Structure 1
Amino acid sequence: MNDLQRTTDWYLARKGRVTASEIYILLANHKEDMTEEEIEEYKKLNPKSRVRTKEVPFSQGTFSYLDGKIAEQFMPDNAFLEYMEDCAPHSRAMDWGTLMENSARMRFCNETGEEVLDAPFIPLKGYERFAGGSPDGIIRSGGILEIKCPFNPAIHLKHFLYETAEDLKEDNLQYFSQCQYNMICVERETDIEVPFCKFVSYDPRTSKSKQLKVLTIPKDVEFQKQLLERTELAVQYFREKIEKINNAKMIV
């Protein structure tokens, strides 16, 4: 496990912030009725269409997620840590992933000859109060690391079949989004371009030649732009909701 992560300071750094591992939640939309003007414009381009709705950010699940993060911002640190202890999900799969992470990192270094530095939670510059990410490592020669150690060997072997970044994006948007968002966070923090993320899947229970998969995920400028646009919308929601809560009267 990254020595700078899953500590008390790490949990407090994530408190009340959208994180890279959950940024995909911001990509969800809900449907809304078009205005008459929008329907008219749409029919000019699609004369046979009967569509009268449009997709707009966010989904109800997104708003619930953001509301949870806003609630965290109003919690004292000790109460938040107690809440995390009581409510944070725990499973054998999560424990396995945490236990195997250091072994995966060492195997990656041995196979590639790369040196990997530990990384803390990195607030997103420009939105420090609201968002950030925790890459599983920063590669000294360039790029970052994202490690997955699936509890189910079949999932690891599915990862082993990936040949392109698009394969990861199509199969697991959460992981692809996490890689891209962590690249943004590190790049903004260091002012050094992060051209790729090495996506690592590791399972020591499989045959030796299939234990490690390393897939290069190049920087996707357009996708990163979309993530930042959704971040801006989320931050706007944060600010408006926090202001309402601060201005609400205790007794009415």
Structure 2
Amino acid sequence: MNSALQLQPVEMNVIQSLDLGALNNLQADKSHEEWLLQRKGKFTASEIHRLMTALSKPNELPVGAITYVIEKVAETLTDGLPESFSSEAMQWGKDNEVEAIEKFEEKTRLFVNNTGENQKFIKYGKHAGCTPDGLGYGFGAETKCPKSSTHVIYKGILNGQDLKKINSDYYWQIQFSMLCAKKSKWFFISYDKRFSKEKHRLHYAVIERNENDIELLKLRLQLAIDKKLELIKNFK
């Protein structure tokens, strides 16, 4: 072999490092695509709150809920990956989510698995499911890495009632996650590493399963599924 074409050990290490990085990115992209396909056409925990408005008439789907149903119909009947949206704030949360779980584990001495790239989609029947940020023995975890001003607000969340009052979207997300994952409690975790003092960076609260609200969720979900199947029939 021409010595001019031989790579020095340092150069070979760089190339191997670049190849490994590219491979990891490719695997991450593939896993993300598989996750999107698993969720496609299904009602998911992150958006289940869209079914939980106008609860004074629990047996009726409000306009916003019907819009959500139509989106699921479109996903079911079309090819390819569903449309997804990511903002700068959402990316910040994704980038810091694993660190938040690690800090939570350090603080509570609880072990959390199925985090980060190892998260799994848990099906609830054929038409719904959730992707917990983490799962432990008897509990799940929902992690938020919000704006610093929002983190200040979240420090006031001590239980499910507080969460329902301060951010009902997350409340319904967690209740539905407990239904899907068959858990009796869920940790709501807020983390912001930008705070100067470490003790101010992590906040968490235990959210207990509320069976009355679970029943409301199941009722609205069934209405949504029935509407989805009804609309799909129009295309046959």
Partner in structure 2 of residue 191 of structure 1: none
Call closer, same or farther: CA 1:20–1:231 in 2, change over 3 Å: same
Could you tell me whether the CA contact under 8 Å between 1:101 and 1:148 is conserved in 2? Answer: yes
Give 1:224's aligned amino acid. I
Could you tell me whether the CA contact under 8 Å between 2:58 and 2:220 is conserved in 1? Answer: no
Distance in 2 (alpha carbons) for counterparts of 1:131 and 1:75? 18
- Cα deviation digits, residues 30-71 of structure 1 (max 9, x gap): 99xxxxxxxxxxxxxxxxxxxxxx775222221111101111
Instruction: Note the C-alpha offset of 1:195.
Output: 1.4
Distance in 1 (alpha carbons) for counterparts of 2:29 and 2:121? 8
Matched, 1:185 2:180: yes
Distance in 2 (alpha carbons) for counterparts of 1:111 and 1:4? 32
Structure 1 counterpart of 2:151, from 145, 149, 156 = 156
SS at match of 2:205: strand
Give 1:7's aligned amino acid. H
Distance in 2 (alpha carbons) for counterparts of 1:138 and 1:4? 23
Give 1:121's aligned amino acid. F
- Between 173-182 and 4-13, report the one with greater CA deviation: 4-13
Partner in structure 1 of residue 121 of structure 2: 121
Partner in structure 2 of residue 25 of structure 1: 50
SS at match of 1:245: coil
- Pairing of 1:187-202 with structure 2 (within 5 A): 187=182, 194-202=183-191
Distance in 2 (alpha carbons) for counterparts of 1:164 and 1:4? 36
SS at match of 2:235: helix
Instruction: Note the C-alpha offset of 1:89.
Output: 2.1
Instruction: Note the C-alpha offset of 1:117.
Output: 1.1
Call closer, same or farther: CA 1:55–1:185 in 2, change over 3 Å: closer
Instruction: Note the C-alpha offset of 1:4.
Output: 11
Distance in 1 (alpha carbons) for counterparts of 2:108 and 2:85? 34
Question: Any gaps of 5 or more consecutive residues in structure 2?
Answer: 1-27
- What's the % identity of the aligned pairs? 31
Question: Any gaps of 5 or more consecutive residues in structure 1?
Answer: 32-53, 188-193, 247-252
Q: TM-score, normalised by structure 1?
A: 0.76
Q: TM-score, normalised by structure 2?
A: 0.81
Structure 1 counterpart of 2:130, from 128, 133, 138 = 133
**What is the alpha-carbon root mean square deviation over aligned residues?**
2.1
SS at match of 1:29: coil
Could you tell me whether the CA contact under 8 Å between 1:196 and 1:219 is conserved in 2? Answer: yes
Could you tell me whether the CA contact under 8 Å between 1:30 and 1:60 is conserved in 2? Answer: no
Structure 2 counterpart of 1:235, from 210, 225, 231 = 225
Give 2:218's aligned amino acid. L
SS at match of 2:234: helix
Give 1:123's aligned amino acid. K
Could you tell me whether the CA contact under 8 Å between 2:48 and 2:176 is conserved in 1? Answer: yes
Partner in structure 2 of residue 204 of structure 1: 193
Instruction: Note the C-alpha offset of 1:21.
Output: 0.8
- Cα deviation digits, residues 204-231 of structure 1 (max 9, x gap): 0112111001100001011011001111
Partner in structure 2 of residue 174 of structure 1: 169
Matched, 1:15 2:40: yes
